[in-house]
Every structure is written in C-alpha cells, then in structure tokens.
Amino acid sequence: MKKILLLLVLAFSFSGCEKDDICDASTPTTPRLVIECYDNANATLTLKNLTSLKAIATGMGTEAVAFNPSLPITDPSRYLYTGSKLYLPLRTDATTTQYALTLNSGVAGSENTDIITINYAHHEVYVSRACGFKTLFDLDPTTPIVQTEPATPDGAWIQNITVIKPNLESENEVHVQIRF
C-alpha cells in the first residue's frame, strides 16, 4: 500500500514537468517572398548575385529591410544584401506591399532604383500552440508584381520578373525569378 502510494506521488510529481513552449525556428511560419536572381545576359538560367541591394518598403520612411540583423544598427551593411536569393517580408495587414529596390546602394554613380509593387491575398493558418498563427500569401493571378520607376527615373535594372510559385507557403521554395 505504501509502495503504491509512493508510486502515485512520484508519478504525480513528474506530471508537473512541462517542456518550454517556444516556437521552434525550424517550424515554417509566416514566409517572406523569395526572389531568385538570374543573369539576363545568359540564355540559360544562371544565378547572378545582387550587389549591395537595399530594400525600403513604401511607408517605412528610410528604414530598410535588415538583411544582416546580427550587425549593429549603425552599420550600413546591415541593410545591404549581396547574393542571389532575396527575401522580402510582405505586409500581413494589407494586400499590397511596395518596395524600392536600390542596386549598388551607397556606390555613387551606379545606384539604380526600381519599384516593385506586389499584389496578393492573405489568410491566416493555425500552426501550433507555441507559434500561434502564420500568414500565408497568394499572389494576385493577373497582376502579381508591377515594376515601375521612382520619381526621378533612372532606368530599369530588373529586365524580367516571372512568378513561378504564386502561393507562398514557406521560405524553402522560390516564388519569383528576376533577370537583370
């Protein structure tokens, strides 16, 4: 009888243990728009690196997307992206997000800005208790991305935009290809 009681108490004390409920980083949550960049000069698909790209969304003033969040806020490199795969966050409370993408940002004379407007629908999907909900996006089937010039036109650097996966589900996929 005493043994059983002891077992009960033990079993009971263990039932009080609880794992920490932190949203695991590997869990797919709200995805960003994944853009892969290719060389326009090459007929076959060849990845091409963007150089010092700065992305500022309309309405965010001068606050650019932090591509290197580990760098200090004062470091301009924090906001510059070099590479062929660009991740852009989309607004989860609107159906349009507009970005000014400046290539060679900070390099006098070779800066070039293109404006892209991304049109989409969004819906919220339950993930888990630890992560809550995530927002998934569906790019507009007729005009998913519109490319325009800034107020002082400097010519387009993006030559071609192709949507290859209109429904954004995770960041482990490429949604848009651009050529430049």
Binding site for another protein (CB under 8 A): 1, 4-5, 8-9, 11-13, 15-19, 21, 23, 25, 29-30, 32, 57, 60, 65-66, 87, 89, 91-93, 124-135
Residues 53-67 as b or e (16 or more Cβ within 10 Å = b): bbbbbeeeeeebbeb
- Supply 152's token pair: 């002082």
What are the CA-CA distances from residue 124 to residues 31, 32, 72, 137 (Å)? 12, 14, 33, 9
- Residue 129 Cβ vs another protein, minimum distance, rounded to whole Å: 5
Beta-sheet pairing, 176-179 with 33-38? parallel
- Residue 80 Cβ vs another protein, minimum distance, rounded to whole Å: 15
Nearest to another protein of 89, 166 (CB atom) = 89
- Residue 153 Cβ vs another protein, minimum distance, rounded to whole Å: 27
